[in-house]
């Protein structure tokens, strides 16, 4: 690896009618501070054009930070947000009712300071509301011009298929990384149908050291296990769009440098096992 890192080196993926680079930025820990806004600006300077957030991240502060950084001048940056999770006394609850989703979209529009959200994802399926009902509501909001593309998060293959009968689904965001692959059936479905797969928690900082093969291979190359884990994700599927989150400028560049790591067929097989 040499020279300045760039998200562009990870290649691109097609989100409906929009192409974005395959290394984005997750913002679940981002608050509305100047260091956070500086991180967002630096990410864009380095070619990141996909930023993921949600209305519940840091009690709306993540969306606010993005809105205060870019607002209507986001330009080539595709900002994706999520709705459908709510704060409750026992942690995070779920609300997939159409009325709630309409209010959530309007609130996200205000915080992001845009007229239309590029990608809006149903954060979690409400067990009390059929997914068809929630997605139909998002489709109506899309027709009204408040959102441009629809995605899903934390869904099964069955739920994804049912949602696709109602609207065009361009992305799925489920938990997936080199150590946690329970969502393999969903990833394979997305691969087969050219739906972008956005793995949340793409690296497990603090836990990857337990993976012996990964740690040894990274040490021999003079890179971190986290970089190698990201490189494995990029190799795993052409529809993969990892969104590693960070509050550190150094870690941001470290994550983007993963795109330059060479991974042979044999290395990929060993890591996959």
Write out pLDDT tens, residues 260-272. 999 999 999 999 9
> What was the pLDDT predicted at 206?
67
Report the DSSP beta bridge partners of residue 26: 52, 245
The domain segmentation of the chain, as residue ranges, is 10-206+237-246
The Cα–Cα gap between 52 and 71 comes to 15
pLDDT band at residue 202 under the 50/70/90 scheme? very high
Report the DSSP beta bridge partners of residue 117: 147
The answer to whether 57 is a known catalytic residue is: yes
> What was the pLDDT predicted at 87?
79
Domain 10-206+237-246 fold is TIM Barrel (3.20.20)
- Annotated catalytic residue, options 57, 120, 176, 226: 57
Q: Burial letters for 63-92: b for 16+ Cβ neighbours within 10 Å, e otherwise?
A: bbbbbbbbeeebeebbbbbbbbbeeeeeee
Sorted by sequence, the CB contacts under 8 Å of residue 9 that are 6+ apart come out as 47, 256, 259, 260
Q: Does the pLDDT of residue 1 top 50, yes or no?
A: no
The two tokens of residue 222 are 């003079």
The Cα–Cα gap between 250 and 220 comes to 21
pTM above 0.85, yes or no: yes
pLDDT band at residue 58 under the 50/70/90 scheme? very high
Average pLDDT estimate for 62-75: 89
Q: Does the pLDDT of residue 211 top 90, yes or no?
A: no
> What was the pLDDT predicted at 32?
97
Q: Does the pLDDT of residue 184 top 80, yes or no?
A: yes
pLDDT band at residue 2 under the 50/70/90 scheme? very low
| DSSP annotation of 148 | S
Sheet holding 25-26, edge to edge: 25-26, 50-52, 78-83, 119-122, 150-153, 169-173, 196-197
Model confidence pLDDT, tens digit, residues 98-139: 999 999 999 999 999 999 999 999 999 999 999 999 999 999
């Amino acid at each position: 690896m040499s020279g300045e890192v760039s998200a562009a080196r990870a290649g691109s993926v097609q989100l409906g009618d929009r192409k974005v680079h395959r290394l984005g930025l997750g913002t679940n820990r981002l608050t509305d501070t100047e260091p956070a806004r500086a991180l967002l600006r630096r990410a864009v300077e380095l070619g990141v054009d996909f930023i993921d957030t949600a209305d519940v991240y840091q009690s709306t502060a993540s969306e606010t930070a993005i809105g205060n950084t870019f607002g209507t001048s986001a330009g080539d940056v595709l900002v994706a947000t999520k709705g459908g999770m709510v704060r409750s006394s026992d942690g995070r609850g779920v609300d997939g009712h159409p009325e709630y989703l309409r209010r959530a979209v309007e609130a996200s529009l205000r915080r992001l300071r845009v007229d239309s959200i590029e990608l809006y994802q149903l954060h979690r399926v409400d067990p009390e509301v059929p997914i068809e009902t929630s997605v139909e509501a998002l489709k109506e909001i899309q027709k009204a011009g408040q959102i441009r593309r629809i995605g899903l998060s934390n869904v099964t293959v069955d739920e994804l298929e049912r949602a696709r009968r109602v609207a065009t689904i361009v992305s799925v965001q489920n938990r997936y990384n080199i150590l946690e692959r329970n969502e393999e059936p969903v990833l394979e479905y997305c691969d087969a149908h050219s739906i972008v797969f956005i793995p949340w928690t793409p690296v497990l900082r603090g836990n990857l050291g337990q993976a012996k093969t990964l740690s040894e291979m990274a040490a021999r190359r003079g890179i971190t296990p986290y970089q190698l884990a990201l490189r494995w994700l990029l190799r795993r599927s052409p529809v993969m769009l990892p969104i590693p989150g960070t509050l550190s400028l150094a870690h941001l560049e470290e994550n983007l440098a993963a795109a330059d790591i060479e991974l042979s067929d044999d290395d990929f097989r060993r890591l996959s096992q």
